[in-house]
Structures are given as structure tokens and as C-alpha cells.
Amino acid sequence: MTPEQKDILLKLKDKTKQGKAAWKETSVDNKFVLDLEKYSISMQLYSGTALPQLYFEIINPKGKRIESFFAKQEDFGEDDIQSFFKLVRRRVLRVDEALKDILHELDSEDVVGGDGLTEPRHDSINF
Amino acid sequence: MKFDMANPVWGFVGTLISFLGFFVTIVMLFKTKKIAQAAKDAVVKTQNEVQKNVLLTDISTCIGLVQEIKAFIQSKRHDATILRMEDLNSKLIQLRHIREFNSESSQKEFQSIVSQLYIIRQNFEEMMGEKNILVDEEKTLGALLRISDRLNDWIGRYKYEVSEE
């Protein structure tokens, strides 16, 4: 990894942790993209190997990859590489928002589930 | 009255005619300038409308290409999918330089489309190279749908602007 790549990686990490990087979902699982004004940076998790790695690609305005590099745990400092990826995933898929909504619905006194048209059965189910 | 150059009345009349001539010249000059400006404005307006029509046609072509790509994906014609994606990419590169897309937000919108297309294309290329890589068809079609939605937004935006003028 070159010093510039490492610099980009650390700045990306900081911006993401501060919630100031709008990563987006892509058509590929475990791959997210960050669109800047002229360039995009894609990030994919490779977890199949013994040590998980993040694969970064820089895409130019013409839709061509101009640079790519792998980031290993040692390039990442004290943060865990997989936790970082999970953080991005949670933000992109709005997981926390979804969990909050689910909890809010479950906490209410109303009947949950169903289609709102058919009456739910009131007899209790013994486990 | 006899014409006598020494008569001051004739001098006065001459001066008056000169002033009148000068005034008429000034008025005519302004009128000509106004007409020239109006003609120039009309040319610029027509030019803009033609440019916008070309722009709308080009965006429509891009939407057509996205539809074709979707059809090729659904019929598993991966080589045709890649070719059409390259066509779409080229068209977008050309569009990106149009004056209407100069703003930072438009450039970001472009970059977002270009990056999503790159990822889809790369996924198909990898799949054709290695048989064990799979393309998530549903996610890919979803990404393409978002691209065509954005292109349709652009059509709406520019069509509206043309009819407003």
C-alpha cells in the first residue's frame, strides 16, 4: 500500500466513523460505493481468507477503474476491519433505524402483524 | 425670400436641419441596435431549444439502453449485456460535458450512475471469466431501475424548462 492509499484509507475511515461519508448500496453483496464529485471509491469485504481484507477501487468519471488496493488489519490501526465494514453496512441499509421501528411497533399495545383486514385469533398459544 | 448666405436665418435653418439629422441618426442607430439584439436573442433562444431537444433525445436514448440491458439480463445474454453497458457508459460520458450538467450536484449524480454501471459491468465480466461467480439479478435490476428513474427525472426537469420558456 502506497502512502497516498494509506492516507485515503485513514481519511475514509475517519469520515465514515463521523457519519460524514454517504456510502451507497451496489448490485453486489458486501460491496458499497462512495461517490465523490469526480471519482468513486468502492469497498468490498473479502472474508473468505484467514484474515479479512477490504478491497478498494477508485473509479474515474469515465467509469474505469484507475486504482485498486487491499487493506489489511495492520493498515487499519486500532479499529477492527470487520467492525468497520459492519458499521458501513448498518448505515447504508439503515439497520439501526429498522430495529428502532420494529421495537417501537412491538412496544405498542396494538396487534402486530397480519394484514389489517382479518381479525387475529385471541386464543393464547401454549409453548 | 432670396437665398443669401449672409442672412442669419439661413444659418439658423441649416443648424436646425443638422441637429434634426443628427437626432434622426441617433434614433435610427438605437433602433438598429435593438433589432440586432432581438435577432441575436432569437438565435440564442432557438439554439438553446435545439440543444435542449438534443439533450432530451440523448437522455431518452440512455433510458432505452437501460431497458435493453434489463431485457438482456433477464434473458441471460451476458455478452450483449456488457456491450450495451459500454454503449450506455459512452453516451453518459458525452452527456456529462453538456453545459446543463456543469453543477456539482449534477456531476455527483453522473458519478453515481457511472460507478454503479462500472460495478454491474465488472460483476458480469467476472462471472463470464469465472463460472463460480454469480450475479444477483434482482439487485442488479434494482440498481438499473434506480438509474432509469434518475434519467427520467432529468427528462422531466429539462422538458419542463423548455416548455416554460
**pLDDT value, residue A122:** 62
Q: Do A33 and B140 touch (CB under 8 A)?
A: no
Give me the DSSP letters along B85-105. HHHHHHHHHHHHTSGGG-SHH
Q: Is B18 on the interface with A (CB under 8 A)?
A: no
Domain ranges of chain A: 3-107
Q: What CATH number has the domain spanning B43-164?
A: 1.20.120
Domain ranges of chain B: 43-164
CB A20 within 8 A of CB B109: no
Cα angle, residue A12 at apex, residues A9 and A18 outer, rounded to 5°: 140
- Treating both helix axes as pointing N-terminal to C-terminal, what angle do B78-96 and B8-74 enclose, rounded to 10 degrees? 160
The shortest CB-CB distance from A27 to any of B107, B108, B143 is to: B143
**pLDDT value, residue B165:** 45
**pLDDT value, residue A116:** 67
Cα of B155 to nearest chain A Cα, Å? 21
Nearest C-alpha neighbor of B111 from the set A43, A39, A5, A122 = A39
Which chain A residues contact residue B112 at CB under 8 A?
24, 35, 40
pTM, two decimal places: 0.76
The shortest CB-CB distance from B118 to any of A29, A36, A59 is to: A59
Q: Do B117 and A39 touch (CB under 8 A)?
A: no
> All 3 cell numbers of residue B120?
454491474
| pLDDT per residue as tens, chain B (165 positions) | 566 777 788 888 889 999 999 999 999 999 999 999 999 999 999 988 888 888 899 999 999 999 999 999 999 999 999 999 999 999 999 998 888 788 888 888 999 999 999 999 999 998 888 767 788 899 999 999 999 999 999 898 888 765 544
Q: Do A24 and B92 touch (CB under 8 A)?
A: no
Q: Give the ipTM.
A: 0.76
Collect contacts of A32-37 with beta carbons under 8 A, ≥24 apart.
Answer: A32/A88, A32/A89, A32/A92, A33/A59, A33/B115, A33/B116, A33/B119, A35/B108, A35/B111, A35/B112, A35/B115, A36/B108, A36/B111, A37/B104, A37/B107, A37/B108, A37/B111
Which chain A residues contact residue B115 at CB under 8 A?
33, 35, 40, 42, 59, 63
